[in-house]
Chain A
Amino acid sequence: MSEELISKKDLLDLTGISYGQLYRWKRKDLIPEEWFIRKSTFTGQETFFPKEKILERIDKIQTMKENLSLDALADMFSPNISDLQLEKDDLIKRNIVSDTVMNFYLENDMNGLTFQFQRILEAYVLEKLLQSGEINLDEGKMVLQVLKDNAPLIKQKSCELVIIRKLGVSSCLLLINAEAVYLEPGTKMVASLSLMTCMEEIKSKLL
């Protein structure tokens, strides 16, 4: 995936932030290390960022930092799972998971009604995929299995969930730090979901 890049200097001009702020946000892990792309130019090394992502992130930080401390923001953006526990009813009340999907989830996962972050994420992913009609219930079970089997990985890295289908047979992949996926012509990519984005969405719903 070749993205449009923006140099550090242009970024600062465009957004009006200072070097101090940029470095501070980097220290607080508000901007992920992977976004700092070093390239050599005629003036020596320069740092570039993926334009769309960084602008969106800076916009988010700037609008939210008035209400939240930087540390709270960092918690929100970091893929590390906070020690969060919610009850089933809470999740439904906060519109993270709908009633039907919640019942389906609980049929397949008997670990009780208290949800830690990992389980919230699983339920939320199901919610997104099932509600949009992209997958059916059987595929939902498959997705859940993949998420459960790879739970430790999801916590650490930026993962992407991809569901493909060929001749009516579906399969589910979990990509870690992947740049791109290429499929055989007859295969259809049913859905692709960045788990990082999901986590951020959940967190912003919780705050």
Chain B
Amino acid sequence: MELKNRGDLIINGIGASNGGKFQRVILNGRGTVNSDLECSDFECNGSGTVKGDVIANTAKVSGNASFKGTIDSQQVTVEGTAKIEKNLYAKHLQVSGKASVGGKVKCEEINLHGILAVGEDCEAEIFTGKCRFTIGGLLNADQVDIEIYGECKAKEIGGQSIAVKQQKGSFIGTLFKPFLKTQLETDLIEGDIIELENTIAKVVRGNQVKIGANCQIGLVEYTEEFSQDKNAVVGDSKKA
């Protein structure tokens, strides 16, 4: 990308732009961009709307942003809420607030400290976080390492090593425990090394499977090792 001779787009207050190619795009206040954007840095601090696709090096949402198209950026940081109607492609995705994506997510690394909702598949090499998530399709990641806060859902999970842990108990957590169920619900988990807690799954397949506390698993198929916590319910386990 040739970026040197491009100008900046800065909207402070209420304003609208038709989009185009820029060096920096900053939306403070209520900015609206009516078509596609291509820029080096995208930042939204107030409540911004982009009605097209965004191609950027870095994209940061600190307020409230909604995108009608696809985001393609090296680094995506969401500190407020972001709503993306189509797909999200990034090298590194960091969510500290809430991000909802209508289509699919494809990243190298996803780090979550908030809420992520994905309509279709979610792919990453590394998927870590302390989070709540809902994934409509397959969560496909080489390493899944999550601590669940609240109700998590994914249709399927597949990868190399998959570890699901319950959040470490906090005082407030214990107060509200009867109301909030911290649980991961999924149809199928497949991986080489699997370690689960607080998980409801119909089928779990893996080489080394460790079922921890508060799990309800319909069927476990394993090839090497299998262990089960006394507080877990496993319908059937088979060594393949």
Contacts and interface: CB of A to CB of B under 8 A. Distances in A.
A22 B142 CA distance: 10
B191 interface: yes
Looking at chain A's contact residues, is the secondary structure mostly helix, strand, loop, or mixed? Answer: helix
Given A23-B140, A26-B140, A45 B187 contact: yes
Contacts of A20: 142, 159-161, 191-192
A152 B190 CA distance: 37
A74 to B, nearest CB: 12
A44 interface: yes
Interface in A16-68: 18-24, 26-27, 43-45
B91 interface: no
Contacts, number: 52
29 contacts: A8-B190, A9-B205, A19-B160, A19-B190, A19-B192, A19-B206, A20-B142, A20-B161, A20-B191, A20-B192, A21-B160, A22-B158, A23-B140, A23-B141, A23-B142, A23-B159, A23-B160, A23-B191, A24-B160, A26-B140, A26-B158, A27-B140, A27-B141, A27-B142, A43-B203, A44-B187, A44-B203, A44-B218, A45-B188
A13 B140 CA distance: 21
Interface of A: 8-9, 13, 18-24, 26-27, 43-45
A194 B206 CA distance: 36
B123 interface: yes
Given A24-B160, A27-B140, A19 B203 contact: no
Given A19-B190, A19-B206, A23-B158, 18 more contacts: A9-B240, A19-B159, A19-B160, A19-B207, A20-B159, A20-B192, A21-B160, A23-B140, A23-B141, A23-B159, A24-B160, A26-B140, A26-B158, A27-B125, A27-B141, A43-B219, A45-B187, A45-B188
A44 B203 CA distance: 8
B113 interface: no
Contacts of B160: 18-21, 23-24
Interface of B: 123, 125, 140-142, 158-161, 187-188, 190-192, 202-203, 205-207, 218-219, 221, 240
B202 A44 contact: yes
Considering the complex of A and B, which 3 residue pairs feature the smallest CB-CB distances, nearest first?
A20-B160, A23-B158, A20-B192
Nearest to B157: A23
Contacts of A18: 160, 192, 207
A127 B191 CA distance: 45
Nearest to B106: A27
A131 B125 CA distance: 45
Contact of A19 (B191, B218, B219): B191
B199 to A, nearest CB: 16
A27 B205 contact: no
A12 to B, nearest CB: 9
A23 B158 CA distance: 6
Residue picked from A19, A24, A26, most chain B C-beta under 10 Å: A19
Contact of B188 (A9, A22, A24, A44): A44
B165 to A, nearest CB: 20
B126 to A, nearest CB: 12
Given A24-B160, A27-B123, A43-B219, A19 B188 contact: no
A19 B140 CA distance: 11
A13 B207 CA distance: 12
A37 B142 CA distance: 22
